[in-house]
Structure 1
């Protein structure tokens, strides 16, 4: 689903990035609720693998930044359409 948040990327000194499942920017500066949800329910991860190359290049992430646990996966894959819609409203 396009436009549904799948990832939240936090970067020291920058606004957060909310991305869809294709790692395309939905918006910057996630809401406080989304930040809370990500930290409480999301799985922290680095953005070092090839799936993140386009995003990290476009936003100028250094190789050290990419290795840090700076992203949260917001979607596990078993969510209902209703749950995804709620996530999109955070």
Structure 2
């Protein structure tokens, strides 16, 4: 992940009421069918999307719920990568071979 995007993702505060979960649901109406994305706990409407965007509405909900886990996984993988680099460097220093 780009460091600027990582920084923005970690520092942008959406506010307490926007923490997950979010839910999407199809709505049938005389004006045309559409999908809504709402905050499950408060019922706050977050987005209304056209009928053809049901997959996008679902993605918004899943992505929002998964995002903190993905950031944590990213942190863990970076730490493991750094540890492996250090081990490789230590090994090459000990053996005298380039790592």
State TM-score, norm by structure 2.
Answer: 0.30
TM-score normalized by the length of structure 1: 0.31
Q: Which has the larger radius of gyration?
A: 2
Q: Which protein has greater RCO, CA pairs closer than 8 Å, 6+ apart?
A: 1
